[in-house]
A = this chain, B = another copy of it.
Amino acid sequence: MVLPPVSDADLDRAFAALADPVRRAIIARLSRGAATVNELAEPFEISKQAVSKHIQVLEQAGLVSRTRDAQRRPVHLEAARLEAMTAWIDRYRLAAEQRFRALDAVLEHSTAPGSARATTQISTDKEKQS
């Protein structure tokens, strides 16, 4: 499976798109299957035009795509872009967690209360995260 490259600007748009509760609800709905604009607009109080704009934002973010079916324009979820987002997050989340575990292991072996704390920075990290 070939994954297309995801640029910095792509991530900008993808994260910004999911920063809105209406758009996240649309994503949640689409995870159960494709839907038209009218179907997607039904649960919300806002106008159909506003929902159409939200879908455009999601489409430009690469999170959804649209096909054609007579007058209808069914919207589909693009799971690949969601995957690219988790890939970005996990890259740094896992790096940080691994660093914390390594730090815990070090402190495990040097439990010397009262000794000089030359590394206030590191010990602060430990206290905050454990």
Contacts and interface: CB of A to CB of B under 8 A. Distances in A.
A120 interface: yes
Bin the interface of chain A by size. Answer: 35 or more
B125 A34 contact: yes
Contacts of A34: 121, 124-125, 127-128
A21 interface: yes
- Tell me how many chains of this kind the complex includes: 2
B12 A19 contact: yes
Contacts of A28: 92
Contacts of A27: 92
Interface stretch (A48-56, A79-87, A106-114): A79-87
A96 interface: yes
